[in-house]
Amino acid sequence: MLNAEELKLVRSCFLFAGVGEAKLIEFLSGGECFTDSFSKGETVFTAGEEEKKLGILLFGKAKAVCADKRKGSLKSFTAGDLFGAAGAFCKTGNEPFSKIKASGSCKIFFVTRAGVEKLILKNPKCALDYITFLSERVAFLNRRISTFTGGEAVARVAKYLLAAAGEDLICRNINFSALAGSLDISRASLYRAKNELLEIKAISADNKDIIILDPDALKNIC
């Protein structure tokens, strides 16, 4: 069902890190997992759908979009990326709040909720790895919430970066002391705001250069 490269991608997923080779091959031959191919624009996954499952992108690209089309894209996925893990055991309503659409031709490896349960029950390390993954997601989302509600300093820095960046989304040779003065915030507040934006991966830093990684995140903060 999977070629050598695809099997390598599946094994790199946290869910299978604690599964031995023989047990993994046995699992793959069962009925709890399958692959499917999609063309550009097709919906590959809908959060909140009744049939719970998670997926691993084997090749191609995809993007998460809000069910409300006016709100645009949320995240991009490339080969090896996982989706659906956070909602696989969710018992809330089935109203879809986001979808994942193929950005081009792509192939997905899906595991049903029943398959995930089977892995967890038979392999305790899978349960621990799953809990670790979800804990890290919660911590990440808490940091994002903190940043979005973090006050005026973060908003001022985000607004400045969006305005100052060139077409390559890079703000070059920033004088941070002068910038703090122009934004009417302390240097300490400026560096805290910068670190918060780094933590949520909205930006990256290279000495005095700031590279915008997620313009939409900055726009949401402003």
Domain ranges in the chain are 4-142, 150-221
| Residue 120 structure tokens | 């967890």
pLDDT tens digits along 138-175: 887 776 666 555 568 888 999 899 988 888 899 999 99
pLDDT computed for residue 43 by the predictor: 92
Check if CATH label 1.10.10.10 holds for domain 150-221: yes
Percent of residues, the chain, with pLDDT higher than 70: 89
4-142 and 150-221 share one fold? no
**Distances from the Cα of 192 to the Cαs of 102, 148, 159, 164, 221, in angstroms?**
37, 13, 15, 19, 15
The single-letter code of the amino acid at 7 is: L
Note the pTM of the prediction, 2 decimals.
0.65
Q: Which CATH class is domain 4-142?
A: mainly beta
pLDDT tens digits along 14-47: 989 888 888 888 898 888 999 999 999 999 988 7
